[in-house]
Structure 1
């Protein structure tokens, strides 16, 4: 027995139906060998990866129509990974990452549940460089700025893994930490556009903002190719 219970959701994104195995509720917890605790995941945080949050749906919607042709894409803090599944369904080159020890098996299960090849996955601790991961044309994330220090940490991930010409797309529910993140990325040469976003089928209920950062190879702060 895994020590937690799950349920299956049916979610429509970009005209396609996706089935997702998620945790039954926020009360689920199972860390028998202390793996999550050693990674710094508290019992209160443990179940957060296993839910489909509005920001995750917003990011998935954006990826359903984004220009991804020829781009190598990294999802940071993927959790259940709906955006990565959408990109996999579109045939994009996507790598999903998270620190949670169950993110990979849940993502593999959900790939199979939707008759997709398993999304390529790498476990990532934002504090630790992962040189073998390489660089990407697009880095995406949803609701990852929920602690003050995350702005600087995520900006460091971008600095290590974004090409000189790159995009960063973040769906943010408005926790108050996006401004310092934007300042960090501006120092790396990124400009930002922002728009309020609603979920498909709920046009009158904005669920957050979509922050779209772009950098060209002439920007101050861009890495040398």
Structure 2
């Protein structure tokens, strides 16, 4: 690909193997028209979307096991899209979103690699309302609280797009901003719980992150 290089990797989630196009390393950068810069994505941040991080794999594992029938689901910061692909394979009503200008293309390519229908995608900045996106029974994300202001902006997304009976699920490697996010969702009427998770297939089964779950109302778990 012009400006950056990619490779295809395979990851097992539940009973299925997923082929994923990803960036080859964290030194990639391509912004010939300045689109990323205008969105506030620095050269250091630019390649982060194109990798499968442990929290992303953990979220995909959770989505392979969670009851999702009848729920409208939003993935925030989908990156290469593994969790949304898992949900698409399960027949869920899922919308993937990201602010990175290449995320939509990577998601579409990865859906095709796995013989799946295209996942509904919306470009979304957390700090800008997107009324046409609508409301959701479940909002999911992985490792999205890595900057101080993310707790506030992500809580704003939840406030705008969560239905009265809703659940929010985040996988997190232990960032320091999750407490602030939890307080903001508590003010929106959510109650919280936390579970330590290991990656499937890890021989020592050591926890690789946390599932942070915020519940409001009676949506099924």
TM-score for the superposition, normalised by structure 2: 0.97
Q: Show the 5 A alignment for 1:77-92.
A: 77-92=77-92
For residues 47-74 of structure 1, give each alpha carbon's deviation from its aligned partner in whole angstroms, at most 9, with x where no partner exists.
Answer: 0000000000000000001110000000
Give secondary structure in 1 for the equivalent of 2:45: helix
Give the match's secondary structure for 1:43. Answer: coil
Q: Aligned partners of 2:119 and 2:208: how far apart in 1? A: 27
What count of residue pairs does the alignment treat as equivalent? Answer: 217
1:204 to partner: Cα distance: 2.3
* Structure 1 position 2, deviation (Å): 1.9
Distance 2:130 2:2 in 1: 30
Partner of 1:124: 124
Q: Distance in 2 between matches of 1:21 and 1:205?
A: 27
1:223 aligned residue? none
2:55 match: 55
Q: Are 2:215 and 1:214 equivalent residues in the alignment? A: yes
- Name stretches of at least 5 consecutive residues in structure 2 with no aligned partner: none
Report the Cα distance in structure 2 between the residues aligned to 1:163 and 1:42, rounded to whole angstroms. Answer: 33
Q: Distance in 1 between matches of 2:118 and 2:102?
A: 15
Q: Which residue of 2 aligns with 1:221?
A: none
Q: Distance in 1 between matches of 2:125 and 2:12?
A: 31
Structure-1 separation of matches of 2:119 and 2:14: 19
Mapping of residues 21-170 of structure 1, within 5 Å: 21-170=21-170
Alpha-carbon separation, structure 2, partners of 1:155 and 1:209: 18
TM-score (normalised: structure 1): 0.95
State how far apart, in whole Å, the 1-side matches of 2:159 and 2:180 are: 15
Q: Supply the RMSD in Å over aligned alpha carbons.
A: 0.8
Find runs of 4+ consecutive structure 1 residues off by over 3 angstroms.
none
Counterpart Cα distance in 1 of 2:197 and 2:148: 23
